[in-house]
Structure 1
Amino acid sequence: MDEAAGTTGGVARVFAVIRALGAAQAEGGRVTQLARAVGLTQATTHRLLAQLVAEGMVEQDERSKRYRLSLDFFALAAQAGNPGDLRTLCRPALLRLCGSLGDTIFLLARSGFDAVCLDRAEGPFPIRSFTGDVGGRIALGVGQGALAILAFLPEAEREEVIRFNLARVREYGVYDEVYLRTEIERTRAQGHAARNTGLLEGMAGVAVPVLDREGRAVAALSVGTLSDRLNAERLPTVVELLKREATALGPRIHPFDATLRRPTQSLAGGQAAVAGRIGPGEGGLDV
């Protein structure tokens, strides 16, 4: 094995461990658990964890012996993910919407074939989302926020995403190509996505795209709430407020924001990274 291949494999293993730690962040992960999750031996996993601890990116609880991503890791991630920066730009809008509507508001941004939750403003009602907390991701087309982004991509990009993501969205049991394309056209015609797929009983969501100066969808503002709070009478008001904020944000998006340049790169290189990473049962609400 040449040196470059060995280095690449080592980096891939480190990030596999980091992702596994992220999935187990609430309770922490044991070496045995993390080794199973990443498909490595316990000895290799322990060595990688020790290196991450030495770098300050991971910490170990002395009592439980469980590992978690450290505060330094999240501080570094915040610096890297907030450069231009979309999250800071949109934060006041999320707070205004949350205060006006009394519901949870999500900011999703496109990352290759996925939508990633960049921020959320928590409402008073207990809800779940496909992307979960900040940093969670879902295939473009699944859930209202990811659908709103997909629907307003340039046609060639949209078709490439559909071809790659179709197998992923089918895993949810209610999607097929006809359904997905119908929802895309509906979203484009209405300017928002607000169809409850019924994947989580009692929950509903509505989202609008945030378009940059070229009319390309780079993000979405999404409301997650109880289905009885998103009835036919209230929906137009919610959509109007979302669209008002999204329209105001679009012209202010920095064209060189590094967060938003990533999706313009070739999608081909991201296929292996996302394939199989998101499966059914990891979320629920259409946001």
Structure 2
Amino acid sequence: MQRSFALIRALAASPEGGERVTQLAKDVGLTQGTAHRLLKALMAEGMVEQDERTKRYRLSLELFAIAARAQDRGNFRDLTRPALLRLSASLRDTVFLLARSGFDAVCLDRTEGPFPIRSFTGDIGGRVALGVGQGSLAILAFLPEAEREEVIRFNLPRMRDYQMVDEVYLRTEIARTRELGYTMTNTGVLEGMAGLAVPVLDRNGRAVAALSIGTLADRLKAERLPAAVELLRREANAIGPMINPFDPVLHRPAQSFIR
């Protein structure tokens, strides 16, 4: 079983077109004969398939269908709720969980701090164009480059209603966010408000969500920033490896509120 799973993991890391048995055997430290025998057994169980033309092996759709059924073991909001509570208790600020939904970011959850604030997304279920506000900017900045460019192209006309959000400003903030690993906004668009956010990355380093805080501008001074960033990063880094890639909450966040 260990050798079979080693082959499955090697196939998961293989190029899009699959991999030859010789390379797979080398990758997992098996003889070619043993690798071939195990691959045939995995094919018989429907977990692996072979391209008739190239003779390369790849994971089958049946394996992904089995993995998709793991979505029934809780969802992303349940997974992240303890982190939001810890952050709210430690920082004494309102904490938001945002997830990407197409060209938007949707507020999946929030915990209230003691200070009254305003935010772009508002309450749970609210949405905002990716790039507007610290949480959605953290997500946008860590999307794959080609995908990020398409979002920027589509969203720039939608941002005209927000002061100080033009292409130069947006690209400058994206570059800064990628360099620092977090984004902090205190632009005055929401008077007296400030925010801080870090991306939540899946196992492939792709941003699927963000943890952010919204607070009074006076509470997010330079002396407090490093500690707040560290707390957010610690929680985001712990959440990332536990993300279920088939979680419907992440694929259809807006629909997750419909009962």
The answer as to whether partners of 2:134 and 2:183 remain within 8 angstroms in 1 is yes
Structure 2 partner of 1:234: 224
The answer as to whether partners of 2:163 and 2:189 remain within 8 angstroms in 1 is no
Q: 2:105 aligns with which of 107, 115, 123?
A: 115
Structure 1 partner of 2:140: 150
The answer as to whether partners of 2:101 and 2:251 remain within 8 angstroms in 1 is no
Q: Aligned-pair distance for 1:262?
A: 4.6
**Between Structure 1 and Structure 2, whose CA radius of gyration is higher?**
2
Structure 2 partner of 1:100: 90
Q: Aligned-pair distance for 1:189?
A: 0.3
2:152 counterpart SS class: helix
Rounded to whole Å, the distance in 2 between the matches of 1:110 and 1:151 is 12
Q: Aligned-pair distance for 1:260?
A: 2.2
Rounded to whole Å, the distance in 2 between the matches of 1:231 and 1:162 is 30
Structure 1 partner of 2:180: 190
Structure 2 partner of 1:170: 160
Matched, 1:131 2:142: no
The answer as to whether partners of 1:204 and 1:230 remain within 8 angstroms in 2 is yes
Rounded to whole Å, the distance in 1 between the matches of 2:73 and 2:247 is 7
Structure 1 partner of 2:208: 218
Matched, 1:200 2:190: yes
The answer as to whether partners of 1:107 and 1:118 remain within 8 angstroms in 2 is yes
Q: Aligned-pair distance for 1:255?
A: 1.3
Same amino acid, percent of matched pairs:
76
The answer as to whether partners of 1:140 and 1:161 remain within 8 angstroms in 2 is yes
Runs of 4+ that moved beyond 2 A: 259-263
Alignment of 1:1-287 (within 5 A): 84-262=74-252
User: 1:209-232 CA distances to partner (integer Å, 9 max, x unpaired)?
Assistant: 000001000000000111111000
Rounded to whole Å, the distance in 1 between the matches of 2:167 and 2:73 is 36
Q: Aligned-pair distance for 1:170?
A: 2.4
Structure 2 length-normalised TM: 0.68
1:88 counterpart SS class: helix
Residues paired across the two proteins, number:
182
1:89 counterpart SS class: helix
User: 1:208-265 CA distances to partner (integer Å, 9 max, x unpaired)?
Assistant: 00000010000000001111110000011100000000000000001111122359xx
The answer as to whether partners of 1:108 and 1:117 remain within 8 angstroms in 2 is yes
The answer as to whether partners of 1:84 and 1:259 remain within 8 angstroms in 2 is no
Structure 1 partner of 2:25: none
2:106 counterpart SS class: strand
Rounded to whole Å, the distance in 2 between the matches of 1:83 and 1:111 is 22
Structure 1 length-normalised TM: 0.62
The answer as to whether partners of 1:84 and 1:256 remain within 8 angstroms in 2 is no
1:194 counterpart SS class: strand
Q: Aligned-pair distance for 1:96?
A: 0.1
1:110 counterpart SS class: strand
The answer as to whether partners of 1:149 and 1:209 remain within 8 angstroms in 2 is yes
Rounded to whole Å, the distance in 1 between the matches of 2:177 and 2:242 is 24
Rounded to whole Å, the distance in 1 between the matches of 2:167 and 2:127 is 21
Rounded to whole Å, the distance in 2 between the matches of 1:84 and 1:122 is 23
Q: Aligned-pair distance for 1:173?
A: 2.4
